[in-house]
Every structure is written in C-alpha cells, then in structure tokens.
Structure 1
C-alpha cells in the first residue's frame, strides 16, 4: 500500500497544482484588466486628438473675424487699443478683507446650507 511519505508527497503535488492554477488565473485576469485599460487609454487619446482638431478649427482667425463682424453690434464689440494693455506690476493690488471672504460662508450658514468647517493653513480668529 501507500506509505505516509507517498501520501504527503501526493498532497503537496495537489496543493502545488492548485496554487499554480490559481496564480495563472489571477495573472490572466490582471492581463485582461490591463488590456481593457489600454483600450480606454487609446479611446481617450483619440478623443483628445479629435478635440484638439475641433479647437483648431473653431479658433481659426478667419472664422473668428467673421463671427466678430456678424455679432459686433449685438455684443457691442470694439477693437482693442494699444493703451488698453498693462503689465502685471501696473495692476493695483486689491486689499484682502477676511470678513468679505468668510461673509458668504456666514450667509450660507444662516440659510441652513452645510459649510465645510475644515480648518486649513494658519488662519486663526
């Protein structure tokens, strides 16, 4: 009959075969997931290319010029003058008032709208 060592070896072989099958199945599942992600990435890349092409068509200067002429009276459009442009250092700094910033949150609280109370940074009252 079978000796104890034979029974142990048969059990080890069956366990090894089951483990190998399980690992193979997981690897195939992961490969299928990777292929699905790759196909989604290709679809998104194709969409990006299409959107860039649409954007370049929509922002063609000739098209924009025609739209400007067509809607100039409706939108009250005026050509830009050279003196309308300013450097960043010429823009006045708006004073920061914390009451204006948190005023909207206080109004929302009064109306019963939930406001995120998470404390961030080093702002203390």
Structure 2
C-alpha cells in the first residue's frame, strides 16, 4: 500500500511540474503580447501627435483666409467679424411649461389608525 502511495505522489508531482511548465510558457507568451501591444500603442500615439501637428498647421487662420480669398467666387466665404456674434439675451429660448399640481391626494395607512 505504501508503494502505491509513493507512486501516486510521484505522479502528482510530475503532473504538477508539467502544469507549471505549461503555465510558465503561457505567461511568457502573454507578456510578449503585452509588450507588442505597448509598442503599437506608442506608435499610434506618435502618429496621432504628428496628425495633430499637421492639422494645426493646415488650420492656421492666415492660411484659411488666403484660401477663402482664392476661392471666393466659388464658396462666397467671408471672414468672421465681432459684430456677427449676438448677445445671450438675444437668444429666444422655448417657454418652460411648469405643471401645477392642484389635486391633493391623501395617503394614509388604515392599519396604523386602528
């Protein structure tokens, strides 16, 4: 009976060693994937920073004004001026409908009164 116990213990140790070996390689692969994703994220952030810089360069007010002047006959765009903006008081908001509750509802617990 003791020899069976020793064999079962040895087999369980071998099985646990095999499981730990597989888990180690799965963990190493997951860490490699994480590293690749971090690299891709950093590359995407760099591309995004470049695109933001290009967008800011292309949206310069003097460049847009020149483009509007060159294409005035087609687009009919005029530059914005301060007198084109309105005051907040000039905005008409829709009226607020407030429902007034006229009916009084009495709520009581009949069991508490008895």
TM over 0.5: yes
Which residue does the alignment assign to 2:50? 50
CA gap 1:54/1:85 in 2 versus in 1, 3 angstroms: same
Please state how far the C-alpha of 1:52 moved relative to its aligned partner: 0.8
Q: Is the 8 A contact 2:68 2:77 kept in 1?
A: yes
Cα distance in 2 for partners of 1:44, 1:90 equals 45
SS of the residue corresponding to residue 79 of structure 2 reads: coil
1:9 Cα deviation after fit: 2.1
Going from structure 1 to structure 2, the CA distance change for 1:66 and 1:13 (only over 3 Å counts) comes to: same
Which residue is 1:23 aligned to?
23
Structure 1 unaligned segments of length 5 or more: list them: 96-125
> What is the TM-score with the length of structure 2 in the denominator?
0.68
2:80 and 2:59 map into 1 onto residues whose CA distance is: 18
CA distance in 1, matches of 2:89, 2:24: 64
CA distance in 2, matches of 1:44, 1:87: 42
Query: For the aligned residues, what is the CA RMSD?
Result: 2.2
How many matched pairs? 94
After the TM superposition, which residues 15-94 of structure 1 pair with which residues of structure 2 at under 5 Å, given as runs?
Answer: 15-93=15-93
Distance of 2:81 and 2:88 partners within structure 1: 17
Q: Name the CA distance, whole Å, in 1 between partners of 2:68 and 2:51.
A: 23
Segments of 5+ residues of structure 2 without an aligned counterpart are 96-114
Q: Which has the larger radius of gyration?
A: 2
Distance change in 2, residues 1:89/1:26 (3 Å): farther
In structure 1, how many angstroms separate the alpha carbons of the residues matched to 2:45 and 2:70?
35
TM-score (norm 1): 0.63
